[in-house]
Structure 1
């Protein structure tokens, strides 16, 4: 259903509706239009969505612990955003191409990323994450909003090639204030690029609340560029799945770009270098805890008789295995060689880069010579 949006995510200024199929209490709300996009979601698939969210949350918590223990230099938590990422991620077809931000661990999980892929950048072992051609997912982007331009350019190319695929790009509410994101929407609308803009409005652009940078719902911006949009409850995995499926189908059909605003909440810090207690009212966090996406689906499964002890134990075991796998992959990563920084920057040898590599090699050799002389 569409419900009035009067919570903290709107700053109390708007009553713009958003799509919700599962209430915070776990009650399934019939919605004829979007129910058609969920006809294949039986009890087993509902359990699968729950398992995905529980496992990715455990991965996120484990990665945060690894950073606190000095095993990772930094980690961007996705705590609270599991429904938006798993719901949309499970809507993707294998041939679709993803352009993520740095926080989209759940989407990477859906695309089949290995544990080492999730952490090697944050450990400093590699300048990039996964093989983009294996996952059909570009490397994570740290520059805010830059991936929207990459996605639009890629989508334009697929259109010129005649490919019937969709491109999806993920970004946060803060990225909508960046020029790159707005320029990407201009190009996408002008060339009717098959790209889906997926904004996870988690209420905070680092320490800046969304109500400061957006006086109206973010989804209202896209129509100004000529891009239709929809607002969805980002803590409702079923709504995110249905809305994204429909949007991707529309994009693939040649109808041009589309924009989804998933209204969710970042329950943790912006990154592990951030302290949200300095700028966030604890009452706000507690209010959003009542809308927890995993608890919501768990309550629904309970009401359907799908959350017995056996299933609970299976999920717990899967989460434990994932946490152990992540830790082992992280601590087992080999230290990079001193000159690997120059590898794989270009597809072929570049003379300027090769000269820099030689200079750096001589610089390092100087230390070895000095140490030898001291002996």
Structure 2
């Protein structure tokens, strides 16, 4: 029952008119757009399920005190993985949000790096210099101007070298579209016609604020028109659809046609973070509807099973393999050396500011029992 302090939106009006390839029950709505190679379909499904299994295990680790506050993404993995699979990793750039663990895993970030990151260990942010993955961004929408600037640099390098540009893919939540950096990043990208793709993970809730309390616009994708860039709305729980529209946007960016805005309609079935209680602001029936009838993993698995490409034995084998990988990666994370307080100020800027140098000195003095 909906109480005075919760909201319910059933059926969800955000789903009207979205692009999809598979219906919620796994039936192909546009069979001609399903990838023809069965091996590719299975690989896509495995990549998506691997991230969901990690998310489920990460919550257990958090409850055991082995992770800090953790932003869950389970139920949104088709948006994250589908978009990232369209990239040429590690050459193209990826700028995830703080909820972008699924993005980073699909891009190739090892699990132990993810674990260390959510332990606030500096090693979690010391990324492979040959990779073009940026750290998880906690400041809302802050990564969009960064992605636009990176894409401009790649455009100029490509023009200088006579090659196709690398693209920058940046994610933002529906709440982030109300931030000034959203406008700055998209406007800059459109004006300079940079090879960038911006994906709005419209999961319906900016913590406790529903989308219809943020904007009077019918869709968030409509904002693309104001910046002079094409936009598309896609069913964010349909992995094949997300991959398809992102591949189109990547191809467009590489041929010099500029950025694209993608609004992926999904739902945050889990709490905002491991410390949130969503029952305080939304009707549980809304989350149950999405969890039970629109689950992204079950949608694709149903389709694969119907074609004889997947079965329960393969599923169990895959889950066991991911669990074994996680155990091994957890050992690596647990073996990371301890950190000193002043290390938290390292790797912020290439050249530390005078203030940071002074702060590090103070921390070292306090640690040694001396005076700053």
Q: Please indicate, yes or no, whether the TM-score normalized by the shorter chain is above 0.5.
A: yes
Residue 353 of structure 1 deviates from its aligned partner by: 3.4
Residue 258 of structure 1 aligns with which residue?
Answer: 260
Q: Is the 1:83–1:236 contact (alpha carbons within 8 Å) kept by the matching residues of 2?
A: yes
How has the CA–CA distance of structure 1 residues 138 and 267 changed in structure 2, closer, same or farther, with 3 Å as cutoff? same
Q: Is the 1:71–1:330 contact (alpha carbons within 8 Å) kept by the matching residues of 2?
A: no
SS of residue in 1 equivalent to 2:94: strand
- Give the counterpart of 1:358 among 342, 356, 361: 361
Q: Is the 2:114–2:124 contact (alpha carbons within 8 Å) kept by the matching residues of 1?
A: no
Equivalent residue pairs, number: 356
Residue 138 of structure 1 aligns with which residue?
Answer: 134
Residue 304 of structure 1 aligns with which residue?
Answer: 307
Residue 132 of structure 1 deviates from its aligned partner by: 5.5
Find the aligned partners of 2:368 and 2:85 in 1 and give their Cα distance.
Answer: 50
How has the CA–CA distance of structure 1 residues 349 and 309 changed in structure 2, closer, same or farther, with 3 Å as cutoff? closer
Residue 195 of structure 2 aligns with which residue?
Answer: 194
How has the CA–CA distance of structure 1 residues 134 and 63 changed in structure 2, closer, same or farther, with 3 Å as cutoff? farther
Moved more, 15-24 or 231-240: 15-24
Residue 150 of structure 1 aligns with which residue?
Answer: 146
Residue 276 of structure 1 deviates from its aligned partner by: 0.8
How has the CA–CA distance of structure 1 residues 132 and 141 changed in structure 2, closer, same or farther, with 3 Å as cutoff? farther
The two structures have a TM-score, normalised by structure 2, of 0.89
SS of residue in 1 equivalent to 2:326: helix
Residue 110 of structure 2 aligns with which residue?
Answer: 114
Residue 288 of structure 1 aligns with which residue?
Answer: 290
- Give the counterpart of 1:66 among 50, 61, 85: 61
Q: Where do 1:25-36 residues align within 5 Å? A: 25-30=25-30, 35=33
Moved more, 87-96 or 314-323: 314-323
Residue 4 of structure 2 aligns with which residue?
Answer: none
Unaligned runs of 5+ in 2: 1-7
Residue 98 of structure 1 aligns with which residue?
Answer: 94
Residue 166 of structure 1 aligns with which residue?
Answer: 167
The two structures have a TM-score, normalised by structure 1, of 0.88
Residue 74 of structure 1 deviates from its aligned partner by: 0.9
Root-mean-square deviation over aligned CA pairs: 2.3
Q: Is the 2:194–2:258 contact (alpha carbons within 8 Å) kept by the matching residues of 1?
A: yes
SS of residue in 2 equivalent to 1:84: helix
- Give the counterpart of 1:124 among 79, 97, 120: 120
Moved more, 286-295 or 131-140: 131-140
Find the aligned partners of 1:15 and 1:22 in 2 and give their Cα distance.
Answer: 14
Find the aligned partners of 2:237 and 2:220 in 1 and give their Cα distance.
Answer: 17
Q: Is the 1:132–1:139 contact (alpha carbons within 8 Å) kept by the matching residues of 2?
A: no
Moved more, 104-113 or 238-247: 104-113
Find the aligned partners of 1:331 and 1:173 in 2 and give their Cα distance.
Answer: 35
Residue 314 of structure 1 deviates from its aligned partner by: 2.2
Moved more, 332-341 or 16-25: 332-341
Find the aligned partners of 1:367 and 1:350 in 2 and give their Cα distance.
Answer: 23
Residue 261 of structure 1 deviates from its aligned partner by: 0.6
Residue 128 of structure 1 deviates from its aligned partner by: 5.3
Unaligned runs of 5+ in 1: 1-6, 369-375
Residue 10 of structure 1 deviates from its aligned partner by: 8.5
How has the CA–CA distance of structure 1 residues 8 and 166 changed in structure 2, closer, same or farther, with 3 Å as cutoff? farther
Q: Where do 1:176-255 residues align within 5 Å? A: 176-215=177-216, 216-255=218-257
Moved more, 107-116 or 200-209: 107-116
How has the CA–CA distance of structure 1 residues 11 and 291 changed in structure 2, closer, same or farther, with 3 Å as cutoff? closer
Residue 135 of structure 1 deviates from its aligned partner by: 2.7
